[in-house]
Structure 1
């Protein structure tokens, strides 16, 4: 099974601390929590990030990581006006070439 975590946010103000935190957390997600892929885009004041995982347990452990919890706190306090997280199971996966 493969799962996706979809993070959607309305940006308040992103700064250098945000950029540093994102780099640190991406590395951690791949190295310690079996994240398979992580894609993020922003346009205007909207951000969307989609990450792919092997198990719900990996996602739960990632969510409970102390560095990630701290980032969530900062996100709610200064980086984002609002955010939404959705976890979904990938039912079909196909591609061209």
Structure 2
């Protein structure tokens, strides 16, 4: 399994951002095999971590035309700076408390 870690410094976010983010989340799950996606914003900082079964799934998601259009809007309107890291999950465990 792989994780994509997206961190960003944002400009003020608007309704278009929220709608676009929701559409992209739905698309990632329904068409590209995203296993889990968690996103948090605090002030002007955003972090999103998504989990994928393979690098091929991530590449297909990255190449999607709607995702590319959303990325372009992000660069133009919503983000001051961002970083993307792709990592391989070596080990995973969970504990419910």
Q: TM-score, normalised by structure 1?
A: 0.96
Matched, 1:73 2:75: no
Aligned partners of 1:79, 1:7: CA distance in 2, in Å?
A: 14
Structure 1 position 62, deviation (Å): 0.2
SS at the partner of 2:74? helix
Aligned partners of 1:96, 1:39: CA distance in 2, in Å?
A: 18
SS at the partner of 1:81? strand
Partner of 2:25: 26
Instruction: Write out aligned runs for 1:1-97 (5 A).
Output: 2-97=1-96
Post-superposition, which runs of at least 4 consecutive aligned residues in structure 1 deviate over 6 A?
Answer: none
Aligned partners of 2:66, 2:28: CA distance in 1, in Å?
A: 11
Structure 1 position 39, deviation (Å): 0.1
Q: Mind listing any 5+ residue stretches in structure 1 that lack a counterpart?
A: none
Indicate the RMSD between aligned Cα atoms, in angstroms.
0.6
Number of matched residues? 96
Aligned partners of 1:49, 1:96: CA distance in 2, in Å?
A: 22
